[in-house]
């Protein structure tokens, strides 16, 4: 019988997959060597202080150890980390100076200050020389970009939305600022966590229904919720075609509301992403792979309805996952070949 998390040497071993974004880290605790996901969580941090590295590491340690306590995992049973993220936060997290390359670096947990065995390995996803970050590289590995057919488009939404198009001759890529997709600057924006407004739909009676993650009191709106809210309010006519809120604000749940400035920021980000994709895609795109947001996934029809995705993608076969970046790093935890695959892909991006 195979025991959950039991290594070939007879001890229990677990790995941590981490996806660093601008103010939070999604993490998964994975049983080694089975590769099964035991649990997932979110650690929030603020890097505006005097010691941003400590802020990230302390927040991640606190969240991971709390999850380990829930599942009776000893700290010493954590033997490996796989970490992807924005270029800025990977530099901060690892302590590597910004003028030095981030190219598939392996370090030790003790050196960085992470919980776990002192000799636990820490693998940092590579970042491409053209500025495509580890989030995107991990997403590409999760979706198997190197074996995908030509004219496949890969999108990772975040503070910088990154796009990679696989063509007959290779990979084309680009990124744009898109703060709204981390809800950065949105007045009631929050991460995809318990209480985040993450869906909006029009009920049969014509009323709009907003829902929160875990159906608890609203703490704010997530990126996926923002897209849905704009889409349904467009359909109802509460947002005009030129992006103006007819009543000055959109009332959501539990006192949360969106202002005109929030909608303006959303459309600014949507337009930037749309323009980037349109510049990359001159031919018909049969397959589109979308990642971004932690706890809930985007509805592709609403991304098109709100102008985030160009209408030419309406006929594409669109696959959406909540966090391809974090899931890609789980593949690396399970199989060392994924590390080489990620590095190889980073060298091919232009």
Average pLDDT, the chain: 92
Task: Please state the φ and ψ torsions of residue 210, each to the nearest 5 degrees.
Answer: -105, 140
Do the Cβ atoms of 165 and 147 come closer than 8 Å?
A: no
pLDDT tier for residue 230 given thresholds of 50, 70 and 90: very high
For the beta carbon of residue 319, count every other beta carbon within 10 angstroms.
16
For the beta carbon of residue 299, count every other beta carbon within 10 angstroms.
18
Say if strands 152-156 and 287-291 run parallel, antiparallel, or are unpaired.
parallel
Smallest CA-to-CA distance from 336 within 19, 33, 29, 26 is with 33
User: What are the pLDDT digits (tens) for 85-133?
Assistant: 988 889 899 888 876 667 678 889 999 999 999 899 999 999 888 889 9
Q: What is the 3-state secondary structure (H, E, C) of 44-101?
A: ECCCCCCCHHHHHHHHHHHHHHHHHHHCCCCHHHEEEEEEEECHHHHHHHHCCCCCCC
Give dist(CA 76, CA 115) in Å, integer: 8
Largest CA distance in the chain: 65
Give dist(CA 212, CA 208) in Å, integer: 13
User: What are the pLDDT digits (tens) for 134-168?
Assistant: 999 999 999 999 999 999 999 999 999 999 999 99
Give dist(CA 195, CA 213) in Å, integer: 5
Give dist(CA 275, CA 170) in Å, integer: 21
User: What are the pLDDT digits (tens) for 317-339?
Assistant: 999 999 999 999 999 998 888 88
DSSP assignment of 191-205 equals -SSTTEEEEEEE-TT
Residue 99: what pLDDT?
67
Q: What angle do CA 111, 86, 69 make, to 5 degrees?
A: 55
Residue 4: what pLDDT?
39
Which residue blocks in the chain are alpha helix, DSSP H?
52-70, 87-94, 109-112, 134-143, 223-236, 260-280, 300-305, 324-334, 337-348
User: What are the pLDDT digits (tens) for 287-312?
Assistant: 999 998 887 899 999 999 999 999 99
Highest CATH level, class, for 133-327? alpha beta
Tell me the Cα Rg of the chain: 20
Smallest CA-to-CA distance from 42 within 218, 154, 182 is with 182
Q: To 10 degrees, what angle do helices 260-280 and 223-236 make?
A: 100
Do the Cβ atoms of 105 and 94 come closer than 8 Å?
A: yes
- Bridge partners of 31, per DSSP, are 14
Averaged pLDDT, 249-263: 97
Would the CATH topology of 13-124 be identical to that of 133-327?
Answer: yes
Q: What is the 3-state secondary structure (H, E, C) of 125-136?
A: CCCCCCCCCHHH
pLDDT tier for residue 8 given thresholds of 50, 70 and 90: very low
Q: How many residues does the chain have?
A: 350
**pTM to 2 decimals?**
0.92
Residue 100: what pLDDT?
66
Task: Please state the φ and ψ torsions of residue 7, each to the nearest 5 degrees.
Answer: -80, 170
**Would you say residue 176 has pLDDT above 50?**
yes
CATH superfamily, with its number, for domain 13-124 = Domain of unknown function (DUF4445) (3.30.420.480)
User: What are the pLDDT digits (tens) for 18-64?
Assistant: 999 888 999 999 999 788 999 999 999 998 888 999 999 999 999 99
Task: Please state the φ and ψ torsions of residue 106, each to the nearest 5 degrees.
Answer: -115, 135
Domain ranges across the chain: 13-124, 133-327
Say if strands 257-259 and 249-251 run parallel, antiparallel, or are unpaired.
antiparallel
Q: What is the dihedral of CA 269, 275, 277, 282, to 10 degrees?
A: 170
């Amino acid at each position: 019988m195979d025991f959950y998390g039991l290594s070939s040497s007879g001890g229990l071993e677990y790995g941590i997959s981490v996806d660093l974004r601008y103010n939070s880290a999604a993490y998964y605790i994975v049983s080694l060597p089975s590769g099964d996901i035991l649990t997932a969580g979110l650690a929030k941090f603020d890097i505006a202080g005097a010691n941003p590295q400590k802020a990230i590491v302390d927040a991640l340690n606190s969240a991971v150890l709390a999850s380990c306590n829930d599942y009776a995992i000893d700290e010493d049973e954590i033997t490996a980390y796989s970490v992807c993220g924005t270029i800025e936060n990977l530099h901060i997290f690892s302590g590597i100076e910004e003028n030095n390359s981030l190219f598939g670096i392996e370090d030790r947990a003790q050196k960085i200050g992470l919980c776990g065995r002192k000799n636990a390995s820490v693998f940092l996803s590579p970042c491409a020389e053209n500025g495509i970050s580890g989030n995107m590289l991990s997403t590409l590995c999760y979706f198997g970009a190197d074996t995908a057919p030509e004219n496949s488009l890969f999108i990772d939404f975040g503070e910088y939305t990154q796009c990679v198009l696989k063509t007959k001759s290779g990979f084309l890529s680009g990124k744009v600022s898109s703060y709204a997709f981390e809800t950065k600057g949105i007045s009631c924006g929050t991460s995809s966590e318990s209480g985040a407004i993450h869906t909006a739909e029009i009920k049969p009676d014509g009323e709009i229904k907003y829902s929160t993650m875990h159906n608890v009191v609203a703490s704010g709106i997530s990126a996926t919720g923002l897209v849905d809210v704009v889409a349904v309010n467009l359909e109802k006519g509460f947002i005009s075609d030129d992006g103006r809120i007819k009543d000055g604000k959109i009332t959501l749940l539990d006192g949360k509301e969106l202002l005109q400035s929030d909608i303006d920021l959303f459309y600014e980000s949507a337009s930037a992403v749309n323009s980037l994709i349109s510049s990359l895609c001159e031919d018909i795109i049969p397959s589109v792979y979308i990642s971004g947001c932690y706890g809930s996934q985007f509805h592709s029809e609403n991304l098109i309805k709100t102008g985030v995705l160009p209408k030419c993608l309406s006929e594409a076969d669109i696959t959406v996952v909540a966090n391809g970046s974090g899931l890609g790093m789980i593949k690396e935890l399970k199989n060392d070949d994924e590390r080489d695959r990620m590095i190889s892909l980073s060298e091919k991006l232009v």
